[in-house]
Amino acid sequence: MNASLGKGTDAAGATAVGSAVGSAEARPQREGARGEVLLDVRDLEVHFPIRRGLVFDRTVGHVRAVDGVSLQVRRGETYGLVGESGCGKSTLGRGILRLEQPTGGQVLLGGTDLASLKGEELRRARRQMQMVFQDPMASLDPRQSVESLLTEPLRAHSDAEDAVPKARWRERVLEMLEVVGLPASAAAKYPHEFSGGQRQRIGIARAMVLNPRLVIADEPVSALDVSVQAQVINLLEELQDSLDLTYLVIAHDLAVVRHISDTIGVMYLGTIVEEAPSDDLYEQPLHPYTISLMSAIPVPDPDVEDRRERILLAGDLPSPANPPSGCRFHTRCPFRQETRCHDEVPVLRELAPGHQVACHWAEQVRDGVIRPAATASDPTAAAGEAVVRSTA
Ligand SMILES: Nc1ncnc2c1ncn2[C@@H]1O[C@H](COP(=O)(O)OP(=O)(O)OP(=O)(O)O)[C@@H](O)[C@H]1O
Ligand code: SF4
Ligand SMILES: [Mg+2]
């Protein structure tokens, strides 16, 4: 039983980060937020073929890593994407950037379908979307100096109409180092000469050097010490305001996502199962998966902590090559019901303004009509045998 998100991450880790970030409070509504939609993802699919055969290479199935995801991110806002390891978060991010070829659906940036672009138009769109990676050591070539690493994107796009002229490259590199809080002397150094947090600052400077509109940060702090995570998160927030950036932040740590996000999407086995404004999701999670995950996070108040009901989540994530029928979560759902869960796919539906959930029984779960089968305070009940209370 493990309700934590991702490899080796536990609820205690989430709290530690939350306090390091300053507080685990949700992000306050910011000035200028609720702008026009910048990123519009419609029913995106990224399926990977599974090939077999020594002589005849044939496709025997597909890994449905991303299987019909729709989401929108407004200009200047941050969309936080959470879900456990293997649920398809990175593939979704890579599919949006077309680093992975989508097998279905659409990605619109500022209203333009990226699939319709070619040549210079596509290159321009690519410049507007950049990625910050989890492991800065792996994403930065150790043989290149910081100056060379930061100049590379400028060189790659040097023939664009609005390119930074070569004579200004060094100035631009030094400017970016200053923006991310590194001294000018860093330009001549190599990645191994920096700490993990400093390396991530270099990764961020590299992503920002082309002045993008959208930044997809895939687990930007999970490889860093807890003490440094807060600094990097704060830097991302500062840059968002000063550089007018829109973020899609992928994380398995609920506290990090809560702190930085305006809207949060919870992903399970290639699909979004719940989406809500950050505050609303934490105040009233509605999908059984989100409820189970939230119930695993310790509460600082010892009295509340004593009364806290932990919902136990059974088993591991099923294979995306062969997802369960009906509701994909039914094999692990502590609220599972005899009807509909096994054979009817729940669609995302809005239960409160901006709060969408893909569960047939969300209202009954919310109202306490259906109770979870197994909790830490009542571990004798078997998972999957949810209790239905009389509504009379
Ligand atoms: N190139 C690929 N070929 C085949 N399967 C892949 C490929 N890339 C990812 N997958 C599979 O797609 C699924 C989703 O992977 P993905 O890396 O997107 O998950 P994730 O949510 O980012 O996980 P993590 O939190 O561990 O980073 C996994 O089952 C993974 O094995
Ligand atoms: S539809 Fe059924 S199995 Fe799926 S989350 Fe809701 S209660 Fe659980
Ligand atoms: Mg990933």
SS (H, E, C) 327-340: CCCCCCCCCCCCCC
Spacing, Cα 370 to ligand 3 middle (Å) = 33
CA distance 194 to 245: 26
Q: What is the pLDDT of residue 29?
A: 55
Look at the pTM and tell me if it is higher than 0.85: yes
CA distance 378 to 381: 6
Residues with CB under 6 A from ligand 2: 288, 327, 329-330, 333, 335-337, 341, 346, 359-361
For residue 207, give the nearest of 180, 168, 174, 169 by alpha carbon.
Answer: 180
Pick the atom of ligand 1 nearest to 100's CA. 1
For residue 249, give the nearest of 195, 298, 283, 207 by alpha carbon.
Answer: 207
CA distance 331 to 348: 19
- In the CATH hierarchy, which fold is given to the domain comprising 1-48+61-392? Rossmann fold (3.40.50)
User: Who's near 69: CB < 8 A, 6+ residues apart?
Assistant: 41, 43, 44, 45, 88, 92, 105, 267, 270, 271, 272
Of the listed ligands, the closest to the CA of 336 is 2
Domain borders along the chain are: 1-48+61-392
Mutation test residue for ligand 1: of 51, 82, 90, 319, the one with most atoms within 8 Å of CB = 90
Q: How far is CA 13 from CA 162, 225, 299, in A?
A: 44, 11, 12
Residue nearest to ligand 2 atom 1, measured at CA: 359
Residue nearest to ligand 2 atom 4, measured at CA: 327
Q: Which residues of the chain have pLDDT under 70?
A: 1-34, 374-392
DSSP 196-241: HHHHHHHHHHHHHTT--SEEEEESTTTTS-HHHHHHHHHHHHHHHH
Spacing, Cα 254 to ligand 3 middle (Å) = 15
CA distance 41 to 68: 10
Q: What is the pLDDT of residue 374?
A: 65
CA distance 351 to 334: 21
Spacing, Cα 83 to ligand 3 middle (Å) = 10
- H/E element holding 38? strand 37-52
Q: Are 82 and 264 in contact (CB under 8 A)?
A: yes
Encoded tokens for 213 = 């509109």
Rg of the chain over all Cα atoms, to the nearest angstrom:
22
Q: What is the pLDDT of residue 28?
A: 58
CA distance 225 to 17: 9
What 3 state SS string does 258-292 have?
Answer: HHHCCEEEEEECCEEEEEEEHHHHHHCCCCHHHHH
User: Who's near 181: CB < 8 A, 6+ residues apart?
Assistant: 201, 235
Spacing, Cα 50 to ligand 3 middle (Å) = 19
CA distance 362 to 359: 5
CA distance 264 to 89: 13
Spacing, Cα 298 to ligand 2 middle (Å) = 24
